[in-house]
Amino acid sequence: MIVVKSSKGGELRVDGYRVRVVEKLRLPSLDERFKAIKEAGWNTFLLRNEHVFLDMLTDSGVNAMSDKQLAAMIAAQDSYAGSMTFYEFVKTVKEVLGFEYVLPTHQGRGAEHILAKTFVKPGSVIPMNYHFTTTKVHFELAGAQVLELYIDEALKTKSTHPFKGNMDPEKLREAIRKYGKENIPFVRMEATTNLIGGQPFSMENLKTIKQICEEHNIPLVLDGSMIDWNAYLINQREEGYKNMSIAEIIKEMCSLADIFYASARKAMCVRGGFIATNNKKFIEKMKEWLPVYEGFFTYGGMSIKELGAMAVGLREMVNESLIGTEVEQIKYFAEKLTKEGVPVVLPPGGLGLHLDAMEFLPHIPQNQYPAGALAAALYIVSGIRAMERGTMSMERDKEGREIFSDLELVRIAFPRRVYLRSHIDYAVDRIVWLYEHRNLIKGLKWVYEPPVLRFFLGRLKDIENWGKELYETYKKELGNY
């Protein structure tokens, strides 16, 4: 954003880019939407995008690339081994993040797999500020237990705590006492904590956690997939960081991490990922696994073209003009919905607008997946594809019992540089209508439930066919669009 003084007082934030390539959107009819959600087993992941109006499932791999990124793809030098495009990327990582050694991976979970293979063993315990779905599965498959050491405010959707992504330092000390530092291969901090509503951690918290890790000689791993939004929010909310540039804030965050990894599908607006560190021993250990699971170390499962674009994406990630749009959009969206009484996660963070499904649909028990039902209902009434982030996104325990999620959220994600303010106004209108008709929505039940990461491929059904009544009521009041 370009920040200037407003003539009315205060500041004005203006997007520092313009759009030069556009894609036409089509609003599918209500009839089409109702048919599509049934065919998709009431799972928004299984919709085809031809049936979607605003695709706000995720920011992953669907951000708008810049002219410079596309140019870098053409200029990239394809080689299986030793491409100079890779070495240019390594130079950029050093400049922007401050790390000497880099391993590319095909995407974020590729990096998680390499971390799991290298550092995790049966009996390991991994403290985190909060888990992410693929992260947890990789570490658990390697035999570890994941500990979520969030602060008490983290799960209070109405709390205005500015840094709900913080880790509770006392809980970390307690975990180290209880499990022993020898069983903790690393502590993981996730920027813009995905599953609790895109909430950031503060630099102060990161420093405290780093200090505890250092006291016990435990490496600190930073998942920087969404470091851009976390840094933007530190700049806006944390004392002492208001006059620092995003580049400086990101450099400082990285200086506290022993290992950094990221899905580049997010902040860097390409399709890939990587691991970076200044620790030679760590990189050498991880490098051994790279050809087994990802590819040769100068491409790591990515196309060289995307590696070229990733270097540009990294530089753009710290370019003040190009970042922050989505945080401002989410804030605007949350203010509008809050005014109408719709329950959302506050304060608005990064990643997306998060509807609080437990408050939106208090009549639906967690074993009937209120957030999944709300995501399906939202699609029916708007054509907007959002994502369930609640119990459906959890794994069952070893006995097959349901593990209820701490929060039941519907995430309406903002891919970077993609949607406009009129899209938000449309979404607000449809969500408010849905909120006024929330009693029509009931739960979902499984028809097919996969054994791992069930939210991706699972198929469900609307209990007592509630979808039909929602569809008919909408049609009567608002027509077929």
**Contact window for ligand PLP (CB under 6 A) among 9-17, 129-137, 353-361, 400-408:** 129-137
CB nearer to ligand PLP: pick between 96 and 270: 270
Q: Are strands 145-148 and 384-385 parallel, antiparallel or unpaired?
A: unpaired
Question: If we measure between CA atoms, which residue out of 444, 448, 471 comes closest to residue 458?
Answer: 448
Task: Give least dist CB 259 to ligand PLP, A.
Answer: 14
CB nearer to ligand PLP: pick between 337 and 412: 412
Task: Give least dist CB 19 to ligand PLP, A.
Answer: 25
Could you say whether residue 278 binds ligand PLP (CB under 6 A)? no
Site string for ligand PLP, 135-154 (x = CB under 6 A): x-------------------
CB nearer to ligand PLP: pick between 118 and 225: 225
Sequence letter at residue 384? I
Could you say whether residue 104 binds ligand PLP (CB under 6 A)? no
Query: Contacts with ligand PLP in 195-234 (CB under 6 A)?
Result: 223, 225
Give the CA distances from residue 251 to residues 91, 163, 327, in Å, rounded to whole numbers and listed in that order: 14, 19, 20
Q: Residues 239, 205: contact at Cβ < 8 Å?
A: no
CB nearer to ligand PLP: pick between 375 and 441: 375
Which of 205, 263, 298, 393 forms a contact with ligand PLP (CB under 6 A)?
263
Task: Give least dist CB 106 to ligand PLP, A.
Answer: 8
How far apart are alpha carbons 78 and 296 in whole angstroms? 13
Q: Which residues make beta-bridge pairs with 389?
A: 409
DSSP structure class, residue 183: G
Q: Which residue is nearest to ligand PLP (CB)?
A: 108
63: left (phi over 0), alpha (psi -120 to 50) or beta: beta
Q: Residues 124, 180: contact at Cβ < 8 Å?
A: no
Could you say whether residue 325 binds ligand PLP (CB under 6 A)? no
The residues carrying an active-site annotation are: 80, 132-133, 223, 266, 389, 455
Per-residue tokens: 131: 């888990």
Give the CA distances from residue 454 to residues 132, 143, 265, in Å, rounded to whole numbers and listed in that order: 14, 20, 22
Could you say whether residue 63 binds ligand PLP (CB under 6 A)? no
**DSSP H/E element including 127:** strand 125-128
Task: Give least dist CB 339 to ligand PLP, A.
Answer: 29
Which of 104, 273, 295, 349 forms a contact with ligand PLP (CB under 6 A)?
273
CB nearer to ligand PLP: pick between 263 and 405: 263
Number of C-beta neighbours around residue 143 at 10 A: 12
CB nearer to ligand PLP: pick between 263 and 329: 263
Which of 33, 51, 109, 454 forms a contact with ligand PLP (CB under 6 A)?
109
Q: How far is CA 328 from the centre of its chain?
A: 17
Exposure string (b/e) for 310-336, b if CB count within 10 Å is 16 or more? bbbbbbbbbeeebbbbbbbbbbbbbeb
| Residues contributing to the site for ligand PLP (CB under 6 A) | 60, 107-109, 132, 134-135, 190, 194, 223, 225, 263, 265, 273
